[in-house]
Structure 1
Amino acid sequence: MNPVLLAASSRRGRRGLAVLALALAAAGVAFLLTTMSMLSTAAASPSMSGLPCPSEAVAVGDGDGKTGLNAHQIRNAQTIIAVGQKNQVPTRGQVVAIVAALQESNLTNHPGGDRDSIGLFQMRPSMGWGTPKQLHNPTWAAGKFYRALLSVPGWEKMSVNDAAQAVEKSGFPDAYAKHTKRAVQIVASIGRGTADRAQIDTTGCTAAVDTPAGPTRDALKTMLAQVGKPYEWGATGPDSFDCSGLIVYGWRKAGYQLSARTSQAMHTLTTPIKKGQEKPGDLIFTQFRSGGPAHVMVVVKPGLAVEAPRTGLDVRVREYDPGEKMRFGRLPKSALSRTSPA
């Protein structure tokens, strides 16, 4: 072949390859941006609002007789949760994935199932979920499940059952609901090892309040029931709250009017208590400035508090360390006046 023609042909080939590479790169960037957008949207959504709190821990190791998890199931649950955490899927989404795996396979990585169903989520190659080899890989299958979940419009506001069904499209559409409480237990226990503690504790549940029945217990349970609702400065509920507004709302629902509205006013009227002596219902003050504390939260039990943190973060339950810069205070009876429960 003529050397000149050969060189020109080579140049055209190189230009073609360059154009193809640019096109592939652009497609990759578009996919990445779309995925990041989906994950960002999901991460901003409420985590586990409205779900039950775990009533008992799930053992991570050789299994747990109370929940029936064995070592194989635990490893699979760890994988599902870890994939969700790595991709910034909200805690609620991790619960949906565990619920689906409990229903479809009992957290067992089956090599087969109904027709050509495979793996933890009993996905079918014939339905476009992937190859048999891919679907038998728990990490790959979990990632596939989360991508499908995040593509469902409004999944965050669905019940766990409906969100799982939107992905699985089962012939038994209401079969997932019965696994919700167990899935919450699994995520709350197993997820603690690698996830942000505050994320796992933001459960939107009515946690067990370790205090005798009475107004304090009622107020705390009301505050805990607000987990997952947005922070809004100056708001006292029922749809949004600031830090002190959450406390005012909780006591109002319990049938008491609190004589202080702001964190500074609450700090002024509370009786100081030493760290380590706090009880459920006591207040924790932080972010001290010249005018007093800018933030207040409430002890659920020693080491755990409920709070409306700040703009951009929903009401949540979080662990606290007594070593943090904080002060504890107890509301005197004189600070509460009896009314009719709101």
Structure 2
Amino acid sequence: MTRGVPIRLVVVLVVVVAFLGGGLVVVPAMMMMGIAGVSQDDDTGGVSTLSCSPIAQTGNTDVVLTDTQLANAQTVIETGVSLDVPSRGLVVAVATAMQESTLQNLNHGDRDSLGLFQQRAGWGSERVRTDPVASATMFYTGGRQGQPGLMDINGWQSMSVTGAAQAVQRSAFPFAYARWESLAASLVTSVVGDEPLGCERNAVGANLPDGTIGDMLQVALEQQGDPYVWGAVGPDAFDCSGLIVYSYRKVGHPLKIRTAAQMMDNSTIIQPGEERPGDLIFSALGERGSAGHVMIVVEPGLAVQAPRTGQDVKLSEYTIDNVNNKLGRLNASAFADSRQPAA
């Protein structure tokens, strides 16, 4: 399902702010260009490129990787290649390291966690866990006290990236890895294809579509971990339809409807197997067929949702039976500007 889409580099005309402990910087999405760097006029009146780093788009925010982060990603990938790990496993590993440490070889963490993968003391000595090659090897093959690595997980190749990562890491935030899948795929494509990381290689392998739908899904995925609150439409809490309203509004495509029932009434019902990213899943169907709950398809079989009171925004697997739930695609009538976003 992965396909390449252009990665965009930014001419930075604004002050960059620290993000995630200084490991990343974020830049407002301004003045996007196909290939550009941070540039300035030289003494001859020309333009000289000062720096150029890959940027991962997450909703309306650009995440810029440092040289150190790129080098650590390359180590994780090349270690996996040396162990004959399939490309999908490399994506899992990079997404995991991005979530756990923002691809930084940390000498601290929660309790005794250390390194790129924030492995606990039972996985190995401090020296081993802070050695990028050794820690990546353990992620793939297992820890020193029998902790299973990715290659030990039965059926990992058929799992979602976030599911496979969680099977190894056993995180308290099991779906957090999903937000880094497209960035990880781009880095694997670059390294495995022996293409330079940086200005010469400007491609992101993404399983989300380009354009409004992909941007909307990125926003929705970034809300994972925020609580369900009935009637909430963000930015820190959501109900099921509120998550959809918020995500579309953040990418400049506001809805003029609010509830799951209204969304179903303004959708074209589609059959299982026809769904694509951005389509909606309607459930808790009443006697008259109106919807009481709604989720967003991320990819066939996987959806992001704000489930119910006591739970947080998360990714969930789904099946469709056309009795208890139905698939729908929002019509132009649902949008305030009367334009249906292209998928």
TM-score of Structure 1 vs Structure 2, range by shorter chain:
0.3 to 0.5
Rg larger for: 1
Q: Between Structure 1 and Structure 2, which shows a larger proportion of strand residues?
A: 2
Q: Between Structure 1 and Structure 2, which shows a larger proportion of helix residues?
A: 1
